[in-house]
Each structure stands twice: as C-alpha cells, then as structure tokens.
C-alpha cells in the first residue's frame, strides 16, 4: 500500500516528534489533540526542533519550510479518517487509547493502517477490539524522536505481512532503523531499559548512592549519554511507572516490582521535566537533585 498521509493522535512529547519526522520525510501530516493550545505548542516545538537541525546542518531551511507546510492540525479526531496511516500517540492509558480507536473506526478508509505508539500495552488486545486486527500494529518511536535512530515495529497475533511491510517502508523512508519485536509486555527496548531505571531508583531508595552519584556512575562508568534518573525524568516518571506495572502484571515476576520511591514521586505529581520536578528540580537555571 502506498502511504502518503499520516494522522497523528496526540501532540505531546511523542506526537509532535512523530509529526516532525513524518513531515520532513515528505508525508502529509494531520495532527490531532484535544485543545488548540496543545496543538499550537506542538507546532512551535516542531519549528524550534527543526531549527536545531538547520543549525546543525542536518536539514536545509527550504526543507524545513516545506515540512512545516505539510503539517495540518485538527481538533476533530474523526478528520484523521482520510489518512492512509494513523499513529496513535496519546496518553499511555489503555482506556483512553480504546476510546480513540472506537471513535475513529467508523470514519476510516477500509485500507487505512491503524497503529499505536504504545510503549508497553498489548498490540494484540488493542487490535482485537478494532475492525481490522490484520491492519493494526505497534509503531513505537523513541524520545527524542528526531534524534533517535530506532523504531520498534510490533506485530499483533493477527497483523498481516503487507501491513508490516508497509510500516517498514515508512520507517525506511524516515531514514530510521526498524527493529521487529514480538508482542510481549514492553517489547524490547522498555523490557530492558525500564528495569534498569527501576533498579536505579531502588539504588537511591536504599541509600546506596545519591541522585548525582548514581547518574554520574552510569554516565562515566557505562558510557550512557544520560544517567538513569535523568533519563527517567526525561521520559516521565508516570510513564516509567506505567511500564513497570505492565511488566509486573504481564510477566507476573517479582523482579519487575516498581520501586515504592518511584510510586511516591508519581503520587507527588513530580513527573520529571514535564512538571519541572522529578529526581531533579528544573525550575532554576541548572537542574538540582531533589534527594
Ligand atoms: N529535535 C531535534 N534535534 C534535537 C532534539 C530534538 N528534540 N534533541 C536534541 N537534538 C539534537 C541537538 O540539536 C544536537 O544536534 P547537533 O549534534 O547538530 O548539535 C544533538 O541532537 C545532540 O543534542 P545536545 O547537544 O542538546 O545534547 P546531547 O548530546 O546531550 O544529546 C540526547 C541529547 C540525544 C537526548 C542524549 O542525551 C541521549 O541520547 N539521551 C538518551 C535518550 C534515550 O535513551 N532515549 C530513549 C528513551 S526510551 C524511549 O523513548 C522509549 C519509551 O517508550 C519510554
């Protein structure tokens, strides 16, 4: 199937990054969210992030302008029905994703491929509640989307080969690399990454190290670009906790139990960068550890 237009549901951290890379690759993009402020903020962020790429010599000013012109926004979710490919990138809550698919389904073209950027929810289960489980799959980007090279493609039990190949062709056109993952809790990247982050929080909880020493150890001792606590703040502590819960529930192994300190930060509403406080406080000039 020839994919020309991409509908993106959700203009948050992941949704705006997905719209960004799709538009740069030449796709017509229709970006949807619940309120105009979020959509305006997303367009501003996309322009700012493209400027960084222009400054770095990765994108020309002309290509940036052409890409921005390819992004349209809408408050009406059902407008996305005319797109060839839909990527749902809403909040990581199954009931919200479910509602989005229920609303979209009557408006889709028969051949539209429906995908979710979920980082951990069962693709097979999401697909089974649609009218097109064979044309449904996981399309999982990494944050920051314009920089990270990988996209995980996750087949549900019913996903057909044509759908997989069509999505793989989109990833190729983005200039990114697709990793094929089976549909088990948290797929590949988060199955490995989140227990590491959770272990870093246990290391803090048990007083083995401070926020600073834990992050510094992993940066200088394991060559990670960000320390695990800094990375958790970057991803969002609510997202980290949600993924740990999916691993814990889905694999029924106590090794995935979320650290109580992670739960406490989420209960406090200290969700990381997006709320300006997490393992670091981002309200000043430079981030300050909160423990
Ligand atoms: N858009 C466009 N360009 C961006 C960007 C963005 N959002 N963010 C960074 N860049 C560019 C910068 O402009 C810079 O470009 P130049 O090399 O041309 O100057 C380059 O990327 C590097 O950025 P910085 O110099 O600002 O900072 P850095 O070298 O510290 O890199 C980082 C920043 C790429 C985020 C790096 O710290 C990193 O790789 N961190 C780890 C990220 C990671 O692990 N992501 C995966 C999270 S897990 C996930 O996403 C899955 C999930 O479901 C939770």
In this predicted structure, the answer to whether residue 57 has a pLDDT above a threshold of 80 is yes
Exposed/middle/buried for residue 165 (C-beta within 10 Å: 0-12, 13-18, 19+):
exposed
Asked if 198 is an active-site residue, the reply is no
**Does residue 160 share a domain with residue 120?**
yes
Q: Which of 57, 70, 73 is nearest to 8 (CA)?
A: 73
Residues 232 and 89 in one domain: no
∠10-14-15 over CA atoms, to 5°? 35
Nearest by Cα to 195 from 117, 142, 248: 248
Q: Are 248 and 276 in contact (CB under 8 A)?
A: no
Q: Whose CA is nearest to atom 29 of ligand 1?
A: 225
Q: Are residues 178 and 194 in the same domain?
A: no
What are the CA-CA distances from residue 94 to residues 44, 97, 104, 181 (Å)?
28, 5, 15, 20
Same domain for 123 and 26?
Answer: yes
Give the domain-ending residue among 117, 152, 182: 182
| Nearest alpha carbon, ligand 1 atom 26 | 52
- Write down the pTM of the prediction: 0.95
CATH number at residue 283: 1.10.1040.10
Verify that 177 and 211 share a domain, yes or no.
Answer: no
pLDDT bucket at 2, cuts 50 / 70 / 90: confident
C-beta of residue 259 within 8 angstroms of C-beta of residue 201: yes
Residues 82, 137 within the same domain: yes
Q: Which of 214, 242, 232 is nearest to 270 (CA)?
A: 232
Q: Which residues of 248-261 are buried (b: 16+ CB within 10 A; e: fewer)?
A: beeeeeeebebbeb
Cα-to-centroid distance, 232 and ligand 1 (Å): 14
Q: What is the pLDDT of residues 85-101, one digit of tens each?
A: 999 999 888 999 999 99
Query: Is 217 a residue of the active site?
Result: no
What are residue 71's DSSP bridge partners? 29
For the chain, what percentages of helix, strand and coil (3-state, to nearest 5) are there?
50, 15, 35
Residue 103 in 3-state DSSP?
Answer: helix
Q: Of the candidates 182, 216, 240, which is a domain's last residue?
A: 182
Are 284 and 195 in a shared domain? yes
Spatial distance between the Cα atoms of 178 and 108, rounded to a whole number of angstroms: 26
Please identify which of the residues 119, 120, 122, 198 carries the catalytic annotation: 119
pLDDT tens digit string along 153-204?
999 999 999 999 999 999 999 999 999 999 999 999 999 999 999 999 999 9
pLDDT at 93: 87
Among protein residues, the one with the nearest Cα to ligand 1's atom 17 is: 56
Instruction: Tell me if residue 152 is catalytic.
Output: yes
- pLDDT score recorded for residue 235: 95
Of 13, 50, 52, best ligand 1 pocket probe by most atoms within 8 Å of the beta carbon: 52
190-247 pLDDT tens trace: 999 999 999 999 999 999 999 999 999 999 999 999 999 999 999 999 999 999 999 9
Tell me the pLDDT tens digit for each residue of 17-41. Answer: 999 999 999 999 999 999 999 999 9
Identify the domain boundary among 149, 182, 215. Answer: 182
Same domain? 195 vs 229: yes
Q: Is the peptide bond before 66 cis (omega within 30 degrees of 0)?
A: no
* Rounded percentage of the chain residues whose pLDDT exceeds 90: 98
My answer on whether 134 and 33 are in the same domain is yes
Kindly state the helix (H) or strand (E) to which residue 73 belongs, with its residue range: strand 71-74
* Structural domain total, the chain: 2
Show the tokens assigned to 150: 């990988």
Residues 158 and 213 occupy one common structural domain: no
267 is catalytic: no
Domain shared by 64 and 134, yes or no: yes
In this predicted structure, the answer to whether residue 1 has a pLDDT above a threshold of 90 is: no
Q: What CATH number does the domain containing 58 carry?
A: 3.40.50.720
Residue 31 lies in domain: 5-182
Instruction: Indicate if 139 and 14 belong to the same structural domain.
Output: yes
3-class DSSP state for residue 210? coil
């Amino acid at each position: 199937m020839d994919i020309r237009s991409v509908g993106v549901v959700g203009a948050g951290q992941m949704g705006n990054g997905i719209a960004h890379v799709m538009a740069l690759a030449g796709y017509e993009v229709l970006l949807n969210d619940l309120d105009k402020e979020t959509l305006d903020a997303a367009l501003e962020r996309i322009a700012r992030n493209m400027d960084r790429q222009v400054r770095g010599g990765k994108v020309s000013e002309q290509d940036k302008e052409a890409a921005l012109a390819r992004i349209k926004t809408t408050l009406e979710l059902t407008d996305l029905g005319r797109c060839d490919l839909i990527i749902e990138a809403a909040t990581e809550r199954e009931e919200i994703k479910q509602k989005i698919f229920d609303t979209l389904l009557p408006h889709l073209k028969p051949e539209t491929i429906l995908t979710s950027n979920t980082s951990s929810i069962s693709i097979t289960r999401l697909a089974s509640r649609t009218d097109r489980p064979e044309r449904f799959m996981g399309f999982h980007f990494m944050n920051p989307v314009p920089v990270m090279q990988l996209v995980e493609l996750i087949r549900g039990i019913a996903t057909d080969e044509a759908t997989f190949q069509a999505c793989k062709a989109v990833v190729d056109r983005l200039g990114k690399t697709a990793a094929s993952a089976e549909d088990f809790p948290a797929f590949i990247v988060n199955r490995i990454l989140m227990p590491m982050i959770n272990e870093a929080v246990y290391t803090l909880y048990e007083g083995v190290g401070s926020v600073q020493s834990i992050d510094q150890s992993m940066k200088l001792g394991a060559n990670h670009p960000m320390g695990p606590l800094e990375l958790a703040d970057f991803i969002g502590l609510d997202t980290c906790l949600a993924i740990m819960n999916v691993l814990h529930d889905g694999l029924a192994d106590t090794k995935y139990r979320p650290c109580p300190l992670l739960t406490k930060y989420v209960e406090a509403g200290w969700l990381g960068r997006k709320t300006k406080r997490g393992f670091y406080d981002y309200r000043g000039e430079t981030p300050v550890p909160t423990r």
